[in-house]
Amino acid sequence: MYIIPIAWIYVALMMAVAEATNSNGTLLGALMTFVLYGVIPIGLVLYFMGSPARKRAIREREKQEASGEALPVQPSTSSEPAADAVPAVRKEP
């Protein structure tokens, strides 16, 4: 499935290398070639290829919410400790 994006990135990389090693070429031109001919188009293609999977995940989540099933809880990846939702209120003595 990913053979065409991999091949296109390879072609864009070779174009950038040719631009950088050319006597009139520059590294900035090579970087722009790689980004404009490689990264942006492949990013769009992969985004559009992932669209059906995202739609299926949304429908599955909506189906689970409608049926009342509990959604799986994902553990926090934050390094910060959990804070109290409501701070304690004390009366002064």
In a domain, 26, yes or no: yes
Instruction: Please give the structure tokens belonging to residue 32.
Output: 């722009």
Distances (CA, A) of 5 to 23, 41, 66, 76: 29, 9, 38, 33
Distance between CA atoms of residues 35 and 21, nearest Å: 17
Q: List, for the chain, all residue ranges whose pLDDT scores fall below the cut of 70.
A: 69-76, 78, 81-88, 93
In a domain, 38, yes or no: yes
Q: Provide the whole-model pTM.
A: 0.61
In a domain, 82, yes or no: no
In a domain, 75, yes or no: no
Selection from 5, 62, 85, 68 nearest residue 37 by Cα: 5
In a domain, 74, yes or no: no
pLDDT in tens, 14-36: 999 999 999 999 999 999 999 99
Q: What pLDDT was estimated at residue 87?
A: 64
In a domain, 76, yes or no: no
Q: What pLDDT was estimated at residue 91?
A: 77
By residue range, what is the domain housing residue 45?
3-67
Q: What pLDDT was estimated at residue 72?
A: 64
Instruction: Give me the number of domains the chain comprises.
Output: 1
In a domain, 86, yes or no: no
Distance between CA atoms of residues 91 and 26, nearest Å: 70
N-term to C-term CA, the chain: 70
Q: What pLDDT was estimated at residue 74?
A: 67
Q: What pLDDT was estimated at residue 76?
A: 66
